Amino acid sequence: MSDDIELISDGEGVAIVGPPEAVDRFLAAEGLESRDLGLGRVQPSLIASGALDAGAKIAEHSGRWVKLTKESAEAMKKYNVMKGAGKGLSRGVLTENGKIKGLIQFSRGGVSTLTNPAVLSGAAGIMAQVAMQQQMDEISEYLEEIDAKVDDVLRAQKDAVLADMVGVDLVIDDAMTVRGEVGRVSEITWSKVHTTSTTIARTQVYALRQLDSLAEGLEKKKLTDLQDAMREVESKAQEWFAVLARCFQLQDALSVLELDRVLDASPDDLDRHRLGLVAARTKRLDVITQRTEVLVERLEAAAGLATSKVLLHPLVSGVIVRSSNQVGSEITRFQDGLGIENSHEGHEAKRWATAVVEVRDKAFDRGGDGVDAAKRVGDETLDRAKSLSVQVTGKLADRARRWQKSD
């Protein structure tokens, strides 16, 4: 058996296929973390279609999957995995010394494990599944990190769609457990889950509308109203991020089950089905990205408005900016969990004294009129300080008289 290692990239990850020891040596040399590809699941469909030689080769080979991160992409770049004739796939063969042996083409028979179209299609389908499972694990880590009780959030809502979502969660988890034990998705298992996508989609829309409502509340112009709206965002946004993350996770799980079912029932359609699911997934991700970016823009606008008025409202301004940064941090964690590139930049709460100095400096820069303006600002600030002092002194005096009477 040859020690050649074959690589397939679909833009999300790289499948490394070959003799188990050769694959392990390659991964160890490059320092890459990987997951089992489960390539053996393609074998039954190959045998059923009469591709016995391809089925035998699959049985002899190991398949590992590596997520395309910045680091792993750099490691793979030196091997120049070339673009092939497949849909969205790049393919190459490495000899033991790490040199490209040649581009795999379907017309070359017998040389490579991946020359058979059914094998390549099956491998690409399984790669899509493993990529989704990797993202599902990362979403689980996110939910654990924020200690989100998604079920509690769903049960607390009176909407019937959200109540149904709790049942969908249970059904899909059960199906994934059965799949892990049996190694395939039977018609019976699929019949239990195939209608759940509607409930997941409706719940996702509901959660997005809740975030839209929170974002609209940040359009307030008065700082006191804006402060109240920001507190509501801070208290509720993370809950809806958690619900959205769980919706996305369950939809990925459903896609994994769906690809298994197509591989089992209609393997010739697997590649087209994979591309369709990937396109639908990208569309869902784009919708979530757009809606969360709207919230980010409103947060930054609110922080900017608060900072501009720190001179007159130092305490309220600081509260708004800190809340904006807190929610922005939650959005960043949410986007990281779903694999979305985030763009939120935190704002630093401008100190009151700094704002006074800036006004003074700008005033002197503008000349005499500016000096008068600065003087007016200073006088207004002094008057406010005196007024506040009188109010505080009066309150203390009243409190002292009450204490004396009680004594």
- The 10s digit of each residue's pLDDT in 96-151 is 444 444 333 322 333 355 556 667 777 888 889 999 999 999 999 999 888 877 77
Per-residue pLDDT at 393: 42
pTM score, whole prediction: 0.73
pLDDT class of 72 with cuts at 50, 70, 90: confident
Three-state SS at 7: strand
Per-residue pLDDT at 105: 32
Token digits for 90? 């790049």
Of 44 and 285, which is predicted with more confidence? 285
| Contact criterion met (CB below 8 Å) for 123 and 114 | yes
Of 163 and 197, which is predicted with more confidence? 197
| Contact criterion met (CB below 8 Å) for 101 and 91 | no
- The 10s digit of each residue's pLDDT in 289-312 is 999 999 999 998 888 888 888 656
Task: Kindly tell me the burial class for residue 365, based on how many C-beta atoms sit within 10 Å of its own C-beta (0-12, 13-18, 19 or more).
Answer: exposed
pLDDT at 392 over 50: no
- Residue closest to 226 by CA, chosen among 292, 311, 308, 316: 316
pLDDT class of 270 with cuts at 50, 70, 90: confident
Three-state SS at 312: coil
Lowest mean pLDDT across 109-113, 170-174, 223-227: 109-113
| Contact criterion met (CB below 8 Å) for 111 and 91 | no
For the chain, the structural domain boundaries read 5-115, 146-338, 352-406
| Residue 192 DSSP class | H
Per-residue pLDDT at 158: 63
Token digits for 313? 């409202």
Per-residue pLDDT at 342: 67
